[in-house]
Amino acid sequence: MTGVSQPNGPAGQDSRLLLDVRNLEIDLAAHGRVAPILSGVSFTIARGSITGLFGESGCGKTTLAQSLFRLLPPRFRVRGSVRLAGRELLSLAERPLEAVRGASMALVFQDPLLALNPLLRAGDQVAEVLRAHRRPSTAADVAALLELAGLGPAALRIARAWPHQLSGGERQRVAIAQALACHPPLIVADEPFSALDTTLVAALTALFRRLRDELGASFLLISHSPGVLARTADQVLVMERGRIVESGPPRQVFHHPAHPYTAALLRDVPRLPLPGEGPPHAA
């Protein structure tokens, strides 16, 4: 299953292993100083599994997500190893990297306005992801993806809308539709539900679980909500100031936290659902 810093075994190949992040170190050079943002981050994601990333604001979750796609500007110095299905991404040339982005590994940005082009209608942005990877991109394909991402009967109207005409929650779902477009084996979703109400969060976490179970898709799901992660994730990584301080199944991490930081973060959360428990009362 999933694990943290587990060796590959002598053969070095494990067909269940999808993402292998080793000793990721990220420093930020600014104003003549270098500040550490991530330190010694190592974890693995198995095929067909959901990994939650949990930690307080500013601990480095978005930096980690963007580094996997090599989207950080040059003032961020990135060292270590990121292997997707055995292939090192940190040293990959730009052309093959572009083929990976969106098709093998997709990112749902924390701020969907950053992901959406203000000059393109929502449907065209989804179609563009498909076209970039030479997939069919008819209006029906796009509407089906928007519907899958929880836009339901509004999908056709949303497809024709400009990003500024959409609500924050609608933009989040357009960004999710873009990520799902090419059925990538790995989706990294950075706070994808923060603008959504609880019934939509429940529907989309159910969708993620279905894609995991039926298609073997994997997710790195970044969330401030232990409730969302407890219902969705197979393993949870807890990050404190750029380090992973604890990891394990949500039942263990959230109900019997080993690290005082995790316990402190959970102190204000009323009662956490156990995995498989019904719809959320508070996300």
Q: Which chain residues interact with ligand ATP by CB under 6 A? A: 28, 30, 37, 55, 57-63, 110
Q: How far is the CB of 34 from ligand ATP (least distance, A)?
A: 12
| Closer Cβ to ligand ATP, 54 or 254, answer by number | 54
Triad 128, 129, 135: Cα angle to 5°: 95
Q: Which two tokens stand for residue 193?
A: 């539900």
Give which of Mg ion, ligand ATP, none residue 60 binds (C-beta under 5 to 8 Å, depending on kind).
Answer: ligand ATP
Please name the residues in contact with 9: beta carbons below 8 A apart, sequence gap of 6 or more.
none
Ramachandran bin of 172, using left for φ above 0, alpha for ψ from -120 to 50, beta for the remaining angles: alpha
**Helix H or strand E encompassing 215:** helix 198-215
212 binds, among ligand ATP, Mg ion, none (CB under 5 to 8 A by kind): none
Q: Which does 58 bind (CB under 5 to 8 A by kind): Mg ion, ligand ATP, none?
A: ligand ATP
Residue 49: DSSP 8-state: -
Q: Which parts of this chain interact with Mg ion (CB under 5 A)?
A: 61-62, 110
Least Å distance between CB 225 and ligand ATP?
Answer: 11
Q: Which is nearer to ligand ATP, 28 or 203 (CB)?
A: 28
Which pair of tokens denotes residue 174?
């357009």
Euclidean distance between CA atoms 181 and 114, whole angstroms: 18
**Smallest distance, Å, CB 175 to ligand ATP?**
15
* Residues sharing a CB contact under 8 Å with residue 203, sequence separation 6 or more, in sequence order: 150
Query: Which of ligand ATP, Mg ion, none does residue 19 bind to, with CB < 5 to 8 Å depending on kind?
Result: none
Cβ at position 76, least distance to ligand ATP in Å: 8
- Residue 59 binding partner per list Mg ion, ligand ATP, none, with a CB distance cut-off of 5 to 8 Å that depends on partner kind: ligand ATP
Q: How far is the CB of 246 from ligand ATP (least distance, A)?
A: 16
Alpha-carbon distance 132 to 83, whole Å? 23
CB of residue 190 to Mg ion, shortest distance in Å: 6
- Residue 155's binding partner out of ligand ATP, Mg ion, none, with CB under 5 to 8 Å set by partner kind: none
Q: Which residues does 166 contact at the CB level (< 8 Å), separation at least 6?
A: 122, 158, 174
In the bound state with ligand ATP, the residue whose beta carbon lies nearer, of 62 and 125, is 62
* 49 vs 225, beta carbon nearer ligand ATP: 225
The token duo for 21 is 């992040």
Do 280 and 202 meet the contact criterion of CB atoms below 8 Å apart? yes
